[in-house]
Structure formats: structure tokens, C-alpha cells
């Protein structure tokens, strides 16, 4: 029998989904109102560095950087924040774990075998459990890892020399046969994995001694080094088969303790790690898929940390003002983009695609919807990449040019409408807000955008099958190496087998991609990729919208957290818990 107080707490907790939904709808309406006010005139001076904190209120509206938001948005935000705070007071905290860092993740890893797992959580946790032959620096150049050095005597031969004194978590010394087995188990079909095709140009692997591994290739393959580095794969012990999924054993800074699907994954420090040992004794990853609950857990202190969570930017701003929490930002590599289906009779005309790019004003979306947590993008590659080049055609907000391009393409305005076009999107709140703004901006040049919202699985199935005109998604990690041009823009990679979902085809781009993949001289590769980026900016199979910052929220008992561009979990290698 529950007490009346407990019943009240449960009743309040059960109402949170309705409160959150009301907040979402109010925010969506606010986005539409925002665009209407944006249309009426200039937004006034910008203060990007102070926007997150610079609010003033007056009358029935909230003024942010010269823009008036309706009172409904302020009220909805206040209700949501008050609900979080009240539930925080009513709830009972989890048992305090003084020697364990509790980190929130939004989903369980699907497979902790580094030869198999390709989802974000699997890859990020695997990087803590396993080491690779090579690592990546802040510009995504490869650096020594388990291999302390390597040579390329000819374009078909790569020789790696392993470090001595490295051991697996079971005490077994690392040797060349472990490396050979890791890749042979894929290439010989002993392990079924989508990663197998990544190494399709590997002909054979030799181990002349315990510390030397030689890769022989079928043809030149310059991205081999990238695909041997952390984030791509990790080295497993000789003879490892499917049991790695259940009991992963690597050489990484943390070792596996336990995992329970949709609940948690527990790791602990590996005391014999060959590099500097982590300062954390134990890490518990807890699965919290709901953004409202995630914010609550951080406010209560029952969780220590979350990075790049689904929490909306306004929630992050709220948490910034909580004295018990710290919010860190750093430039990231995740790219949001708007893609066109080039088989569509309207969108196959490059002038229409360019007109859409000119009609979109990214600045107010960046400042007011994303609260400056994103930065404008002009390439699919992140700015940190050694191959990045922004000396390309850029499409600044220019509705007059958009109208001229549409007129030239043969789409006159009739009663304010030139044509209708459909955009498919998921139910993600931030995406819904963004698309609502885009709809209003495109209307200004005579394009009627019809928005169709689907659950993510249905949305992704339509995207991968080509059943769309427009869609927006994000590249997460896959765009950090210029091999992304092959995957996303080469004509041989049309769906369903490939990821060229725009069905883009340009023989010159295909030839440049193929040449760059065979070239081992990085300076020459950089010039080839610069030309590719220049052509893509003109052909415009997709509009690169913005790079998303890495956003880390943590309690004050955690310190020494350093973010890297990829937004992976490397900061756990140096993090420590204070005595607070």
C-alpha cells in the first residue's frame, strides 16, 4: 500500500510526459512565430558569445538578441524547468558511488566486439576496451598506437612494428598473431560483420616475427591506415570468436566487468595498461533514453556526466545555471546536412538546388534554435581535417538570387507558389523546429515545403531506399576521413548497397576519388580532395548546414575532462573524481 505522499509523487512523475509534450508543441509554435518576426525585418545586433546568457524580459515577450519570443514559449520553458526541479526534490537519489563515475548514454551498445559493432555506443566504449594499431590526432592524421612505427616500401605493402610489453586484460602478451587473427577472422568469414568490406583490398597478412605484421594489398588503398586506427577496429586475442560480444578482452585502459541490455555497462581500470593508467577506478554507463529524465538525473547528482545528449539546447542553457553542474563546449565534427534526390524531376536541376541553398538563412537558426551550439559548414569534411578546404562556392542567404535562379529554371511564381516539394523528417524535436523554420524561409521565394514526419526507423528506411525528395540527417564520425567522398558521392555507391543517397553522379568526381584512394602522398591527396570539394559545392547534391559542438554536462565532483573533436569517450582516460 503506497502512502498518499508516494502516490502524489508517482502521479506527478506520470504527468511528466504530458508536460514535456506540451513544451515541445509550444516550442514548435514558437519557432513558427520566430520566423514570422524574422520576416518582418532585421533581427538587430548579434552577440553570439553572450547569447546563451543574455536574456531580458519585457511585457508579454522575451527579447533575445533583438528578437521577440512569444510569452507562450517562455511559459512552456518555465513549466518544463519547474517540473524538472520539483521532481528532483520529490525523487530519491540512487546510492552514492564515491569511486565510480556514472555516465549517461541514450542507448545500449549493440555489440562490443570491435570487429562487429558499428553503432556509436559500441564504437565509443570499444575504444576504452581495445587498442588499435594506430591512433588519430586532432587533425585526423594517424599516429602510433599498438604499432610504434610503420613503413610503406611500396603502394601494396605496409609493415607494422608492434610495441613490446603490451598485455591483454587476461594477462596474455600481445603478439603479431593477434593482429593477424583480428583481420583474418573477418576476411575468412569466421566473424560475420559489415566491416569486412572495409578490408576488401587486403590480399594477405604475414607475421615474420612476434612483433612484425605485414599487410599485402590487391591494389593501392591509401585509406588503409585510417581503417587500422582507433574508432575503426580494435585488436582481439588470437582465436577470439563470437564470445567477444559477451566477454570483450582487449588491451585498452579499461576492462569489461558486466553489461545488461537497456540498463548499464560497467568497466573498471586495467592496472597493467601499457600507457598511463586511468585515474578512475570504475565507470558505469547507465542507459537513459529520455532527455527529460537525463536532465533530472544530472540535477539530482545521481549521474555525473553526459555528452552530446538528446537534451534540447534550451535544457542545456538551464543546466548551465545550476551551481552543481558544469557545461563544457568544444568544436565538433558531427555534420547536419540537407540532401536532395537528384532523380527527382524538380531537384535534378542544379539551379533549383542552388536556389534552395540561397533561400535558407542559417544564421537565425544557429543563434536562436541551436543557441550557438553549432557552426556553419561549407564541406562534408570537418574543419579540423587535414584535407578540409573551404575555398569553394558558398551560398549565403540571398533570397533575390534564389528567385532569379528559380525563374531561370522555368518555375515562375503563380499566386506566390512556384512548386510544392516534400521533405521527410524524424520526430526529433530539434529537427522539427529546424524544418518549421526552413518551411517559412522557402515560402518567401515561392517554394511550398510539405513536411512529412515519421518514426526514425520508417524515416531511415525511406531515405536508404531513395523514397524522398528532401531529407536532413547527420554524419557522425564517418565524415572525419576523406574516404567519405567515396561512400557518399561515388556513382558506384547508390543505395541499397551504398550511401550515395542523393544518386549523385559526376564522372570527374568519380575519377578524382579513385585517384585519391590510390595515392599515398598526402600532399597530392589533399589537392585532389580540394578539387572534389570545389565540384561538390557547385553541383550541390547536399547543403552542408552546420557542425555541431560537443557539449559535455558534468557534476563538479568530476574534473580533468578534455574534449576532442570526435566527441568520443577519451576524456574518461584522464578524468578523476574529487573528494566532494
370 and 511 assigned to the same domain? yes
Last residue of a domain, one of 28, 59, 90: 90
- In contact, 421 and 449? CB cutoff 8 Å: yes
Cell of 196: 569486412
Tell me the CATH number at 276: 3.40.190.10
301 and 370 assigned to the same domain? no
469 and 442 assigned to the same domain? yes
Say how many domains are in the chain.
Answer: 3
Cα end-to-end distance, the chain, whole Å = 37
Last residue of a domain, one of 56, 90, 124: 90
**Residues near 18 by Cβ (< 8 Å), separated by ≥ 6?**
none
- Name the residue among 126, 125, 103, 570 with its Cα closest to residue 306: 103
Query: Is 338 contained in some domain?
Result: yes
Residue with cell 577519451: 570
Residue 244 DSSP SS3: helix
559 lies in which domain range?
A: 256-330+550-577
Query: Is 220 contained in some domain?
Result: no
Last residue of a domain, one of 39, 71, 90: 90
**CA–CA dist 135, 189 (Å, integer):** 26
Query: Is 86 contained in some domain?
Result: yes
Residue 296 DSSP SS3: helix
**Beta sheet of 202-209, edge-to-edge order:** 147-154, 157-162, 212-217, 202-209
Orientation of helix 4-40 relative to helix 71-90, angle to 10°: 160
CA distances from 419 to 370, 410, 448 (A): 29, 11, 6
Tell me the CATH number at 501: 3.10.105.10
287 and 386 assigned to the same domain? no
**CA–CA dist 201, 221 (Å, integer):** 7
**CA–CA dist 565, 480 (Å, integer):** 10
Report how far Cα 431 is from the mean position of its chain's Cα atoms. 14
Q: Is the peptide bond before 496 cis (omega within 30 degrees of 0)?
A: yes
Residue 135 DSSP SS3: strand
**CA–CA dist 410, 416 (Å, integer):** 15
Element (DSSP H or E) covering residue 17: helix 4-40
Q: Quote the pLDDT of residue 5.
A: 38
316 and 377 assigned to the same domain? no
**CA–CA dist 237, 171 (Å, integer):** 11
Q: Quote the pLDDT of residue 31.
A: 52
Query: Is 210 contained in some domain?
Result: no
**CA–CA dist 54, 206 (Å, integer):** 61
Q: Quote the pLDDT of residue 295.
A: 96
Q: How many CA atoms lie within 13 A of 418 on its CB side?
A: 24
- Name the residue among 536, 276, 496 with its Cα closest to residue 394: 536
Cell of 104: 549517461
Q: Quote the pLDDT of residue 320.
A: 95
- Name the residue among 125, 115, 128, 112 with its Cα closest to residue 270: 128
**Residues near 6 by Cβ (< 8 Å), separated by ≥ 6?**
none
Query: Is 109 contained in some domain?
Result: no
Residue 127 DSSP SS3: helix
Torsion of CA 85, 285, 123, 556, to 10 degrees: 60
Residue 544 DSSP SS3: strand
Query: Is 401 contained in some domain?
Result: yes
- In contact, 60 and 69? CB cutoff 8 Å: no
**Burial of 489 (C-beta count, 10 Å sphere; 0-12/13-18/19+):** buried
CB atoms within 10 A of CB 259: 19
Query: Is 286 contained in some domain?
Result: yes
526 and 556 assigned to the same domain? no
pLDDT in tens, the chain (580 residues): 444 334 434 443 444 444 444 444 545 555 555 555 554 444 433 334 333 333 333 333 333 333 334 434 444 444 454 454 444 444 444 455 778 999 999 999 999 999 999 888 999 999 999 999 999 998 999 999 999 999 999 999 999 999 999 999 999 999 999 999 999 999 999 999 989 988 999 999 999 999 999 999 999 999 999 999 999 999 999 999 999 999 999 999 999 999 999 999 999 999 999 999 999 999 999 999 999 999 999 999 999 999 999 898 999 999 999 999 999 999 999 999 999 999 999 999 999 999 999 999 999 999 999 999 999 999 999 999 999 998 999 999 999 999 999 999 999 999 999 999 999 998 887 888 899 999 999 999 999 999 999 988 899 889 988 999 999 999 988 899 999 999 899 999 998 878 899 999 999 999 999 999 999 899 999 999 999 999 999 999 999 999 999 999 999 999 999 999 999 999 999 999 986 5
Query: Is 178 contained in some domain?
Result: no
505 and 557 assigned to the same domain? no
536 and 563 assigned to the same domain? no
265 and 398 assigned to the same domain? no
**Burial of 33 (C-beta count, 10 Å sphere; 0-12/13-18/19+):** middle
540 and 393 assigned to the same domain? yes
**Residues near 161 by Cβ (< 8 Å), separated by ≥ 6?**
147, 148, 149, 150, 211, 212
345 and 403 assigned to the same domain? yes
289 and 377 assigned to the same domain? no
Amino acid at each position: 500500500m503506497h502512502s498518499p505522499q508516494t502516490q502524489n509523487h508517482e502521479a506527478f512523475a506520470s504527468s511528466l510526459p504530458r508536460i514535456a509534450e506540451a513544451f515541445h508543441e509550444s516550442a514548435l509554435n514558437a519557432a513558427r512565430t520566430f520566423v514570422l518576426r524574422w520576416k518582418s525585418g532585421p533581427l538587430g545586433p548579434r552577440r553570439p558569445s553572450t547569447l546563451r546568457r543574455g536574456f531580458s524580459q519585457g511585457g508579454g515577450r522575451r527579447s533575445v538578441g533583438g528578437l521577440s519570443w512569444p510569452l507562450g514559449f517562455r511559459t512552456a520553458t518555465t513549466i518544463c524547468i519547474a517540473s524538472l526541479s520539483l521532481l528532483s526534490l520529490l525523487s530519491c537519489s540512487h546510492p552514492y558511488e564515491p569511486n565510480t563515475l556514472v555516465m549517461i548514454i541514450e542507448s545500449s551498445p549493440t555489440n562490443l566486439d570491435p570487429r562487429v559493432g558499428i553503432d556509436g555506443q559500441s564504437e565509443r566504449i570499444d575504444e576504452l576496451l581495445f587498442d588499435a594499431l594506430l591512433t588519430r590526432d586532432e587533425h585526423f592524421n594517424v599516429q602510433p598506437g599498438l604499432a610504434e612505427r610503420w613503413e610503406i616500401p611500396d603502394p601494396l605493402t605496409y609493415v607494422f612494428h608492434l610495441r613490446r610489453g603490451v598485455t591483454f586484460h587476461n594477462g596474455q602478451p600481445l603478439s603479431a598473431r593477434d593482429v593477424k587473427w583480428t583481420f583474418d577472422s573477418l576476411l575468412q568469414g569466421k566473424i560475420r560483420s559489415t566491416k569486412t568490406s572495409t578490408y576488401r583490398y587486403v590480399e594477405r597478412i604475414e607475421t615474420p616475427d612476434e612483433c612484425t605484421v605485414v599487410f599485402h594489398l590487391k591494389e593501392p588503398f591509401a585509406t588503409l591506415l585510417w581503417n587500422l586506427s582507433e574508432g575503426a577496429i580494435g585488436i582481439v586475442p588470437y582465436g577470439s570468436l563470437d564470445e567477444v560480444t559477451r566477454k570483450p578482452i582487449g588491451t585498452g585502459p579499461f576492462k569489461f566487468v558486466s553489461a545488461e541490455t537497456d540498463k548499464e555497462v560497467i568497466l573498471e581500470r586495467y592496472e597493467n595498461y601499457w600507457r598511463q593508467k586511468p585515474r578512475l577506478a570504475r565507470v558505469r554507463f547507465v542507459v537513459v533514453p529520455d532527455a527529460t529524465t537525463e536532465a533530472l538525473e544530472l540535477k539530482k547528482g545521481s549521474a555525473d556526466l553526459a555528452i552530446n545528449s538528446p537534451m534540447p539546447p534550451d535544457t542545456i542553457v538551464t543546466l548551465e545555471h545550476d551551481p552543481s553542474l558544469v557545461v563544457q563546449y568544444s568544436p565538433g565534427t558531427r555534420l547536419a546536412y540537407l540532401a536532395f534526390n537528384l532523380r527527382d524531376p524538380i531537384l535534378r536541376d542544379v539551379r533549383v538546388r542552388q536556389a534552395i541553398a540561397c533561400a535558407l538563412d542559417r544564421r537565425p537558426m544557429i543563434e536562436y534554435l541551436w543557441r550557438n551550439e553549432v557552426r556553419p559548414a561549407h564541406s562534408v569534411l570537418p574543419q579540423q581535417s587535414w584535407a578540409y578546404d573551404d575555398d569553394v562556392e558558398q551560398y549565403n542567404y540571398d533570397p533575390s538570387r534564389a528567385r532569379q535562379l528559380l525563374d531561370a529554371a522555368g518555375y515562375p511564381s503563380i499566386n506566390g507558389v512556384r512548386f510544392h516539394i516534400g521533405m521527410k523528417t524524424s520526430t526529433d524535436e530539434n529537427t522539427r523546429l529546424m524544418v518549421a523554420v526552413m518551411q517559412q524561409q522557402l515560402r518567401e521565394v515561392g517554394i511550398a515545403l510539405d513536411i512529412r514526419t515519421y518514426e526514425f526507423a520508417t524515416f531511415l528506411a525511406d531515405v536508404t531506399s531513395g523514397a524522398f525528395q528532401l531529407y536532413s540527417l547527420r554524419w557522425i564520425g564517418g565524415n572525419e576521413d576523406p574516404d567519405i567522398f567515396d561512400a557518399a558521392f561515388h556513382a558506384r555507391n547508390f543505395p541499397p548497397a551504398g550511401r550515395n543517397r542523393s544518386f549523385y553522379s559526376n564522372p570527374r568526381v568519380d575519377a578524382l576519388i579513385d585517384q585519391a584512394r590510390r595515392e599515398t602522398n598526402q600532399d597530392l591527396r589533399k589537392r585532389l580532395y580540394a578539387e572534389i570539394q570545389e565540384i561538390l559545392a557547385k553541383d550541390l547534391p547536399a547543403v552542408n548546414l552546420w557542425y555541431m559542438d560537443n557539449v559535455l554536462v558534468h557534476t563538479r565532483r568530476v574534473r580533468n575532462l578534455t574534449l576532442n573533436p570526435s566527441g568520443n569517450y577519451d576524456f574518461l582516460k584522464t578524468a578523476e573524481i574529487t573528494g566532494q
